[in-house]
Chain A
Amino acid sequence: MVVTLKIWVIVVVIIMIVYAVRHAIFTLSRLAWRQRPYYQDIVDGRMPSLSVLIPMHNEAVVASSILDAILACDYPNEKLEVIPIDDHSTDGTAAILQRYAAAHEHVRPLYRENGSRGKSNALNAGLAAAVNDVVIVFDADYLPARGLLRQLANAFVDPEVGAVMGRVVPFNCDRTFLTRMLAMERTGGYQVDQQARYNLDLLPQYGGTVGGFRRDIALLLDGFDPNQLAEDTDLTFKLFVRGWRVAYANRAECYEQVPESWATRFRQLRRWSRGHNHVLVRHALPLMRSEFLNLTQKLEGLLLLLVYAMPLLLLSGFAANAALFLMGAMPIWSAVWIGVFVVAYNAFGNFAPVYEIGAAEVLDGMQQRIYLLPYLFFVYIYNTWTTATGFIDALGDIVRRRALTWEKTERTATVSS
């Protein structure tokens, strides 16, 4: 028993060390190594035509804000169609969309009143209705900057690019302690993590919003699976496994509303974890077998897929240590235990280690937020439990063959551009 527990602890420590090293490499890549340029400066008259999809379920609070922001974008109207998808709303979203459709010829709303609700279903409906080359997706609580559509569209001059992802920046970061913490998470995740993966020719993720993909590829891949909660990660891996690339546009910033209450964040993170772990089960083997990826990309893809499985592993390591402590079998393991904690804290301070988040905040010039780094400890405990819950949900889904239902993140305020 004791030997088994000790072996398990060693396994957990080794895996955590791998993640810590991974993020240290990302941080070095972003801070000091050569940066891979984006397609930012390509000025091409043959810009692709865009279909902007915005799934909306009861989004009356924010619908006008995002539509105004998109209509203010500097993309030529003749190459743009905006498709807000009213997904079974009951709060007046449809009336807002009708008003915009009447005023703007290229705003063509879709009204879904039948069939199952959910982001994947809404996107599939939008995909079927869209006519343009490239599809750009936004969540309803996002505020694109004026040049964003052009910046995202630039990537598609590269015929190997299947999808593109922009940078997400919270605009309500000063509201609560949680929003500040989430702003730090986003900063580390995009400014360092995504850019480093792009630099190193690894696997930047298409994040399901503030990003886009080629419409014909999405149709070829049968659109979005309604049984996937993480339809974005699902698409990312479908593309990589088939030899397409995902470009990351760090300059293409879009502003989002992050959850302001811990309970809302709990539901969001739990859903992400549940969805991501479904993607893990679905894509781990195809990823390793893909003929289009090299070994480094496959290993990085596997680490990416396993991210939301790690917290449960970490909790099991903690439980094993607690059991060893109660049995008085820990003395020579104290150093190993320190290793677990330190590396885990580093690797999962907020799905990004403290040095990665610190580096991102220095790059962003956000001095005051850097003082909050030690408080990531509490978020780390919270994330560990919440994400582990999502993993257990996913396990339950697979064992009991449960159908997945989409749960929208609660919006808390109106926004203005």
Chain B
Amino acid sequence: MKSAVDSPGPLTPDAPADQIRSFILPHRSYRRLPVRGFRSRIASTLVVILIEVAAIFLVTPMAGAASRFVLRALNGSGMPAEAVPDAYLGFTLHPVLSGMAPAAYQSLALCLVLAIVAIIVLSLLRPALPLRYFLISNLVMVIASAAYLIVVGHPGYDQWQFSRLYLTTVVTVWLVLPVVVGLSCMLFPFTTLETAFIILIALVYDVLLSTGRYAIFLWLLAKTGPLLMPNLYLFFGPLLDFALVVGLFSIALVRLSAKLVRHTEDWAWL
């Protein structure tokens, strides 16, 4: 049976019965997606487990490669740095140890005042609310960070601890990602191959993004000091990756949707 989408031209009153029937599309309220077979679901589950196991085995070399890249990037920009071995969840990682600009009282006080002024200016300029909230959240974090540094005198984390925190966090993301993306995929009728492809693309993308960002963060800390450390980690750190992974996921969903629209006869009725 041809789907209505493929049907040529408009339906005429004297059209044959099978053509008329092919034009009857299930209204969106009656649709549900084709249910995957038991074997297909088992196969997808095994693939997710397989990729997760592979991620566990490969996380040490992946983190090692990330550290070597960051080391080369920092050394290349004339910044002394070294990779120091460290244990995390039974894995041996090599967080990068480099310098961090000191936090001078005067510059902290200035940043605090500027952040307050920026919040006032934003309130007056009234940019779109989501952007305003995002910027104000960041500025509030800057104020909190500056106030903490002024009062306590030193950051909660030194450069090495921050580097370690960042690396352990991205390693956790790499370990969690296959399961999160896999479970999300299994809600939809993706094939086993598609599920594996989506997980792998998301993982590769995240490894590359995390590595590049690691270098940028350490360079920024070396140049600007500890003031922006909480913003880098909490707002622009590994947690943002999930929003971007959702972007990849949405591309896969669009492809799935396009496939389903082409084959309307496959859509299950309630």
Interface of A toward B, CB cutoff 8 Å: 24, 27-28, 30-32, 35, 37, 167, 191, 195, 250-251, 253, 262-263, 265-266, 318, 321-322, 325-331, 334-335, 337-338, 341-342, 345, 354-355, 358-359, 361-368, 370-374, 376-379, 381-382, 385-386
User: At the interface, yes or no: B233 with Cβ under 8 Å from chain A?
Assistant: yes
Q: Is B130 touching A334 in the complex (CB atoms < 8 A)?
A: no
User: At the interface, yes or no: B45 with Cβ under 8 Å from chain A?
Assistant: no
Q: Is A325 touching B156 in the complex (CB atoms < 8 A)?
A: yes
Known interface pairs A265-B129, A370-B250; 15 further A-B residue pairs with C-beta atoms within 8 A, sorted by A's residue number: A27-B187, A30-B32, A35-B30, A262-B130, A318-B234, A325-B156, A328-B155, A338-B238, A355-B187, A358-B188, A365-B257, A365-B260, A366-B257, A370-B257, A372-B250
Chain B's closest residue to A265 (CB) is: B129
User: At the interface, yes or no: B128 with Cβ under 8 Å from chain A?
Assistant: yes
Known contacts A31-B33, A362-B260; A335/B239 CB under 8 A: no
Q: Is B253 touching A362 in the complex (CB atoms < 8 A)?
A: yes
Known contacts A359-B188, A381-B134; A322/B239 CB under 8 A: no
Of B50-58, B162-170, B203-211, the one contacting chain A is B162-170
User: At the interface, yes or no: B133 with Cβ under 8 Å from chain A?
Assistant: yes
User: At the interface, yes or no: B7 with Cβ under 8 Å from chain A?
Assistant: no
Q: Is B187 touching A359 in the complex (CB atoms < 8 A)?
A: yes
Number of interface residues of B (CB under 8 A): 59
Q: Is B242 touching A341 in the complex (CB atoms < 8 A)?
A: yes
Which of B168, B184, B234, B247 sits near A331, CB closer than 8 Å?
Answer: B168
Chain A's closest residue to B30 (CB) is: A251
B142 to chain A, nearest CB (A): 11
Cβ contacts B218-251/A at 8 Å (1 or 0 each): 0000000000011001100011101110110111
B75 to chain A, nearest CB (A): 26
Q: Is A382 touching B130 in the complex (CB atoms < 8 A)?
A: yes
Residues in A with CB closer than 8 Å to B246 are 354, 373-374, 376-377
Q: Of residues B28, B137, B172, B233, which shows the largest number of chain A Cβ atoms within 10 Å of its Cβ?
A: B28
Residues in B with CB closer than 8 Å to A358 are 188, 249-250, 253
Residues in A with CB closer than 8 Å to B156 are 325-330
A354 to B248, CA, bound (A): 12
Main secondary structure of the interface of B (DSSP, over half): helix
Q: Is A370 touching B253 in the complex (CB atoms < 8 A)?
A: yes
Q: Is A373 touching B129 in the complex (CB atoms < 8 A)?
A: no
Residues in B with CB closer than 8 Å to A325 are 156-157, 229-230, 233-234
Q: Of residues B131, B240, B246, B251, which shows the largest number of chain A Cβ atoms within 10 Å of its Cβ?
A: B246
User: At the interface, yes or no: B173 with Cβ under 8 Å from chain A?
Assistant: yes
Q: Is B243 touching A374 in the complex (CB atoms < 8 A)?
A: yes
Chain B's closest residue to A24 (CB) is: B187
Q: Is B257 touching A361 in the complex (CB atoms < 8 A)?
A: yes
A266 to B129, CA, bound (A): 8
Chain A's closest residue to B5 (CB) is: A365
Residues in A with CB closer than 8 Å to B270 are 35, 37
Q: Is B145 touching A326 in the complex (CB atoms < 8 A)?
A: yes
Known contacts A338-B238, A342-B180; A250/B29 CB under 8 A: yes
A386 to B130, CA, bound (A): 10
User: At the interface, yes or no: B261 with Cβ under 8 Å from chain A?
Assistant: yes
B253 to chain A, nearest CB (A): 5
Within 8 A of A (CB), among B179-204: 180, 183-184, 187-188
User: At the interface, yes or no: B176 with Cβ under 8 Å from chain A?
Assistant: yes
User: At the interface, yes or no: B258 with Cβ under 8 Å from chain A?
Assistant: yes
Chain A's closest residue to B239 (CB) is: A341
User: At the interface, yes or no: B110 with Cβ under 8 Å from chain A?
Assistant: no
A180 to B76, CA, bound (A): 45
A365 to B257, CA, bound (A): 6
Residues in B with CB closer than 8 Å to A366 are 257
Residues in B with CB closer than 8 Å to A265 are 129
The 5 closest A-B pairs by CB, nearest first: A328-B156, A374-B247, A35-B270, A262-B129, A373-B250
Q: Of residues B27, B156, B229, which shows the largest number of chain A Cβ atoms within 10 Å of its Cβ?
A: B156
Q: Is A338 touching B230 in the complex (CB atoms < 8 A)?
A: no
Within 8 A of A (CB), among B248-266: 249-251, 253-254, 256-258, 260-261
Q: Of residues B32, B134, B144, which shows the largest number of chain A Cβ atoms within 10 Å of its Cβ?
A: B32
Q: Is B165 touching A334 in the complex (CB atoms < 8 A)?
A: yes
Q: Is A342 touching B32 in the complex (CB atoms < 8 A)?
A: no
Q: Is A321 touching B234 in the complex (CB atoms < 8 A)?
A: yes
A368 to B255, CA, bound (A): 10
A316 to chain B, nearest CB (A): 14
A379 to B230, CA, bound (A): 22
**Can you list 27 A-B pairs with a CB-CB distance of less than 8 A?**
A24-B187, A250-B29, A266-B129, A325-B157, A326-B144, A326-B156, A331-B168, A334-B169, A335-B172, A338-B173, A342-B242, A345-B242, A358-B250, A359-B33, A359-B188, A362-B257, A365-B260, A365-B261, A366-B257, A367-B254, A367-B257, A373-B250, A374-B246, A374-B250, A377-B246, A382-B133, A386-B129
